[in-house]
């Protein structure tokens, strides 16, 4: 910890940001929480609302609407700010607008003297994390995105339901882009210490079909939720809290965050979802797991797509 209190600054107090803030409070994950939004009144209202729950919380937390100078002595700055796609707007135009939003955030954060860890949730999260890295000039390990942490949680939940076991005993990951090219390396998926592909009833083919169906469901989950209720926010709020706890608690936890690859899986200079050891220094290490040939190709394809999107920004 940089200082004696665990201080988090949240930028972007929309649905995702406030689900995160609410979860931080309920899990006593920090001691001080600063809320920043371009709509200052909104941040103030959210701070009031959360403060009114303090009497029911399990520990005290200092919560207030602040500004970028408050980042000076913060341990983490978490960015959930972003603009929504306008009708008819291309993916690239949206990306350009969000890059401008990030410039207006990351520059004043670093100008404050901030010396902690950046955590990014805004989509497309792998690209926005790389933009944060470029704008901040920080060492890559100190910039991480939520990556495929939420997708991995969805996978573990669905596998837990199918196998009828606690998802916390399922050890399987979603890797790659947080998006359409993400994939599940089934060769490295385990229930306790047993390979999941050995567990299905019937033949291996039936098993692979079922597992691929689960992977498709994970990939389509956000689309389904957005169709039903316009946005997703509780799951990501919990995923961000989990990552925050790993950083502030110096936990050395393995989480599938978006991190810069430096030769792992034969890839470099790209931020992508992969199992990483996360602690007070941010990404301490990208854990290179043993992918088979087909899975390495899927990782390479995800990285190619992400590099192309980033390069398109110019
Ligand atoms: P939202 O519209 O509810 O909130 C966005 C907030 O950002 C608003 O309060 C807005 O005022 C603020 N904002 C915009 N420009 C700003 C600026 N320049 N400075 C400060 N604040 C600014 O959106 P949301 O539903 O909370 O989603 C936020 C982002 O999280 C989106 O990009 C969404 O796609 C992403 N998301 C990511 C995941 C994931 O797994 N990584 C999951 C769900 C959503």
CATH number of the domain encompassing residue 89: 3.40.50.720
Residues 158 and 305 in one domain: yes
Residue 186 · residue 209 · CB < 8 Å? no
Please indicate whether residue 244 or residue 86 has the higher confidence score (pLDDT): 244
pLDDT tens digits for 2-20? 557 899 999 999 999 999 9
pLDDT tens digits for 73-127? 999 999 999 998 777 888 788 899 999 999 999 999 999 999 999 999 999 999 9
Q: Which of 145, 168, 203 is the last residue of a domain?
A: 145
Residue 125 · residue 259 · CB < 8 Å? no
Q: Which of 145, 172, 203 is the last residue of a domain?
A: 145
Residues 15 and 140 in one domain: yes
pLDDT at 204: 62
Average confidence (pLDDT) over 166-170: 95
Q: Is residue 15 a part of any domain in this protein?
A: yes
Residues 140 and 24 in one domain: yes
Residues 116 and 241 in one domain: no
Cα(77)–Cα(118) distance, rounded to whole angstroms?
5
pLDDT tens digits for 264-287? 999 999 999 999 999 999 999 999
Residues 224 and 121 in one domain: no
Please give the residue range of the domain that contains residue 131.
7-145
| pLDDT confidence band for 183 (50 / 70 / 90) | very high
Q: Is residue 1 a part of any domain in this protein?
A: no
pLDDT at 86: 79
Angle between helices 125-136 and 293-312 (to 10 degrees): 60
Residue 203 clears pLDDT 70, i.e. is over it: no
Residues 78 and 189 in one domain: no
Stated length of the chain: 314
CATH of the domain at 170: 3.90.110.10
Residue 216 clears pLDDT 90, i.e. is over it: yes
Residue minimizing CA distance to atom 13 of ligand 1: 81
pLDDT at 301: 98
Number of domains in the chain: 2
Residues 137 and 203 in one domain: no
Q: Which of 82, 111, 145 is the last residue of a domain?
A: 145
Nearest atom, ligand 1, residue 18 CA: 26
Q: Which residues pair with 32 in a beta bridge?
A: 7, 62
Residue 38 · residue 49 · CB < 8 Å? no
Q: Is the CB of 39 under 6 A from ligand 1?
A: yes
Nearest atom, ligand 1, residue 101 CA: 18
Residues 302 and 213 in one domain: yes
Average confidence (pLDDT) over 225-248: 96
For residue 33, give both structure tokens: 């929480």
Q: Is residue 2 a part of any domain in this protein?
A: no
Residue 206 clears pLDDT 90, i.e. is over it: no
CA nearest neighbour of 290 among 281, 279, 299: 299
Average confidence (pLDDT) over 202-227: 85
Residues 52 and 184 in one domain: no
Nearest atom, ligand 1, residue 121 CA: 41
Residue 200 clears pLDDT 80, i.e. is over it: no
Residues 105 and 153 in one domain: no
Residues 288 and 167 in one domain: yes
Residues 55 and 72 in one domain: yes
pTM for the structure as a whole: 0.96
Q: Which of 103, 118, 121 to mutate to test the pocket of ligand 1 (most atoms within 8 A of CB)?
A: 121
Q: What average pLDDT is seen over the chain?
A: 94
Residue minimizing CA distance to atom 30 of ligand 1: 122
pLDDT at 129: 98
């Amino acid at each position: 910890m940089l200082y004696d209190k665990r201080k988090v600054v949240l930028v972007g107090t929309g649905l995702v940001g406030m689900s995160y803030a609410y979860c931080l409070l309920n899990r006593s994950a920090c001691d001080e929480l600063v809320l920043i939004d371009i709509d200052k009144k909104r941040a103030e209202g959210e701070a009031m609302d959360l403060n009114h729950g303090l009497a029911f919380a399990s520990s005290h937390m200092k919560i207030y609407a602040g500004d970028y100078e408050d980042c000076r002595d913060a341990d983490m700055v978490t960015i959930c700010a972003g603009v929504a796609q306008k009708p008819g707007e291309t993916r690239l135009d949206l990306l350009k607008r969000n890059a401008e939003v990030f410039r207006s955030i990351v520059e004043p954060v670093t100008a404050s003297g901030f010396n902690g860890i950046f955590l990014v949730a805004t989509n497309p999260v792998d690209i926005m994390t790389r933009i944060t890295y470029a704008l901040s000039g920080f060492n890559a390990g100190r910039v991480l995105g939520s990556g495929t942490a939420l997708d991995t949680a969805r996978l573990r939940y669905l596998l837990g339901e199918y196998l009828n076991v606690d998802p916390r005993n399922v050890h399987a990951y979603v890797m790659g882009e947080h998006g359409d090219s993400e994939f599940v390396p089934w060769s490295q998926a385990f229930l306790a210490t047993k390979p999941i592909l050995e567990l299905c009833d019937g033949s291996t083919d039936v098993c692979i079909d079922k597992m691929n169906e689960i992977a498709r469901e994970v990939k389509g989950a956000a689309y389904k939720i957005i169709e039903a209720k316009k946005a997703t926010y509780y799951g990501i709020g919990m995923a961000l809290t989990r990552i925050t706890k790993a950083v502030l608690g110096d936990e050395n936890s393995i989480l599938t965050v978006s991190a810069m690859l430096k030769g792992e899986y034969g890839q470099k200079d790209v931020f992508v979802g992969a199992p990483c050891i996360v602690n007070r220094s941010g990404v301490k290490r990208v854990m290179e797991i043993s992918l088979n040939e087909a899975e390495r190709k899927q990782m390479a394809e995800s990285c190619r797509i992400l590099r192309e999107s980033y390069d398109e920004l110019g």
